Each structure stands twice: as C-alpha cells, then as structure tokens.
C-alpha cells in the first residue's frame, strides 16, 4: 500500500499513513489491523480533514516495545505528533484501540481537542480465565497467527459469502444469515478487504491485557458510537464510558455488527462522526 511511512520517534519506530492536508484526525485502529485500516474516512477527507493512521505497537511495522501498554502507547503517539510537528488532533479510538485512545485523551487534553469512540473497549474486556482468552492465545499468538490468517484469506478468496457467514457470529448477536442478507456487495467486499490485510503480530495478545484509565478524569468532548448488537465488544462498554466520561454523548447505532461502518444504519454513523468532529474547537 502506497503512502506508508516510518517515523523514528524518541520512543521507538511507528509506522503510519497521513492522508489529506486539513485539520488532523488521529485514528487508532482495532485489533488485527494496522495503518492500512479502512475506516470509511473518505467523508472526513471530503470535509477538509486529514487522517493520521499509525500502526499501533505490536502490529505490522510498529514493534511492541514502542508502547506495550496504553500509557506507553499514548506517550509514543505524542512523540509521533511532535515528530510530525502536529500540535493538536481530534481522536478516533476503534475497538481494541479504545484503551490507548482513552489514555491519550486523559493524559494529554491539550493535544486532543475531542474524542470519538467507535465500538471501543472501555472496561476490562477478557480475563486469562475466559474462553475467549484461551482461544485467542491458541489462534492469535505470535507464532501461529500468520498461518491462521493465511488460511482465513484463502477461504475468503474461495468463497467470500460463506466465509463472511462463518465470521459473523464473532461480530454480531443477531442471526448471521439475516445479517448477511442485509449486507450489499460493497459491504461484503469491505469485509473481504479487512481480512486480506489482517495480522495479529504480538499486538493482539497485548491488547487483551490492556486496561482503560479512570474515565472520570477525561475532560475532552466525547462521542461514543456502538451497536447494541455488537458481538465482539459488548454494548456495556459504551454504557460504561457514557456514565463515566463527563458530558459524553452516546449514540446507539442502528447497525447490526461490530463493524458499525457497514450495513443498514452505517450512513448515519459516518454522518454523526463528521458532524461531531466538525464542531468548533474549544
């Protein structure tokens, strides 16, 4: 993918993409992803924003030692902003990128003017005793994750729709067949592209141990968008964040899955994001 660069910051190397030339929106991707993340950001570029998408530590070209915890990752991201001479950003935290986004907003309110949480982790997610932790330790540990994703990509190339149907129980609490029927061709291609670019590296195992900071210490304007049908990160995370972040807005989306940018109701998600980020700065 063109446009990927590597910044050698004071806290370690960080891979990133920087798209557009307007006011900067810093995007922290979810698990198994990287700076190659497709967050349906075209509308933001069209509204005159620029997107700064770093690869979080442990994924693709950013080593885990750059920021193995949310606090360390937040400090490394400030080093990236300093390296790029960016004084202030708006911030989007997606899924497992939530704890780092929350830490960044808490510790550096002078560098973050507003925060959007999208299907984001905001409270303890998995424990070492949980079946999810055990399964993830088997499939997504640094030694096995590469062949696991290679098999997934092969399956998607052979039969995209069947593969999506098998994936959907991890993403939604609704009937997978009904959800699949509501996805158009563009949505299905979007999921296939996600899988094509996914790797877990050492980042996903680190993500499962991440803990969000004290949310009542966050003072930046915050929008929380989450589907009540999310099968990957329960809607309780959104309710928890809304209760504890002063003045936070909670938007319960009409989308079917963890991927709130696709399917019925997704257009309104993208509109709410753009509207919130376009509000006048403090």
Are the C-beta atoms of residues 73 and 67 closer than 8 Å to each other?
yes
- In this structure, is residue 202 part of a structural domain? no
Whole-number average pLDDT of the chain:
94
Q: Are residues 94 and 158 in the same domain?
A: no
Taking only the tens place, the pLDDT of each residue in 206-254 is 999 899 989 999 999 999 999 999 999 999 999 999 999 999 999 999 9
Inform me whether the pLDDT recorded for 135 exceeds 90.
no
Residue 100: which CATH number? 3.40.50.1820
The angle formed by the CA atoms of residues 25, 18 and 56, to the nearest 5 degrees, is 75
- Return the H-helix or E-strand segment holding 119: none
Provide the pLDDT for residue 6: 97
Domain count, the chain: 2
- pTM for the structure as a whole: 0.95
How does residue 2 score in pLDDT terms, banded at 50, 70 and 90?
Answer: low
User: What φ, ψ does residue 133 adopt, rounded to 5°?
Assistant: -65, -45
Same domain, 34 and 149: no
137 noted as active-site residue:
no
Regarding whether 270 and 154 lie in a shared domain, the answer is no
- SS3 of 230, please? strand
Does residue 77 lie within any of the structural domains?
yes
Per residue in 53-87, pLDDT tens?
Answer: 999 999 999 999 999 999 999 999 999 999 999 99
Q: What are residue 21's DSSP bridge partners? A: none
Q: Which of 50, 95, 122, 266 is catalytic?
A: 95
pLDDT higher than 90, residue 137: no
* Domain interval for residue 79: 4-126+207-278
Residue where the block lists tokens 């590597």: 6
The reported pLDDT for the residue numbered 236 is 96
């Amino acid at each position: 993918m063109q446009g990927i660069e590597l910044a050698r910051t004071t806290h370690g190397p960080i891979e990133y993409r920087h798209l557009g030339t307007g006011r900067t929106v810093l995007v922290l991707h979810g698990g198994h992803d990287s700076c190659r993340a497709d967050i349906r950001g075209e509308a933001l570029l069209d509204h005159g924003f620029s997107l700064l998408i770093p690869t979080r530590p442990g994924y693709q070209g950013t080593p885990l030692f750059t920021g193995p915890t949310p606090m360390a990752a937040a400090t490394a991201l400030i080093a990236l902003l300093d390296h790029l001479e960016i004084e202030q950003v708006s911030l989007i935290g997606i899924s497992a990128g939530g704890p780092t986004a929350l830490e960044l907003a808490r510790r550096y309110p002078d560098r973050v003017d507003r925060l959007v949480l999208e299907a984001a982790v905001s409270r303890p997610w998995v424990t070492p005793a949980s079946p999810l932790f055990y399964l993830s330790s088997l499939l997504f540990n640094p030694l096995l994750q590469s062949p696991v994703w290679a098999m997934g990509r092969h399956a998607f190339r052979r039969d995209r729709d069947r593969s999506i149907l098998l994936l959907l129980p991890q993403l939604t609490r609704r009937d997978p067949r009904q959800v699949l029927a509501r996805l158009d061709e563009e949505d299905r291609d979007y999921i296939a592209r996600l899988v094509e670019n996914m790797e877990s590296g050492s980042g996903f195992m680190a993500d499962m141990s991440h803990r969000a900071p004290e949310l009542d210490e966050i003072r930046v304007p915050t929008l929380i968008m989450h589907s009540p049908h999310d099968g990957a990160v329960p809607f309780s995370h959104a309710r928890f964040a809304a209760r504890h972040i002063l003045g936070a807005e909670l938007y319960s989306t009409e989308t079917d899955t963890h991927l709130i940018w696709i399917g019925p109701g997704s257009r309104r998600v993208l509109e709410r994001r753009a509207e919130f980020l376009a509000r006048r700065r403090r």
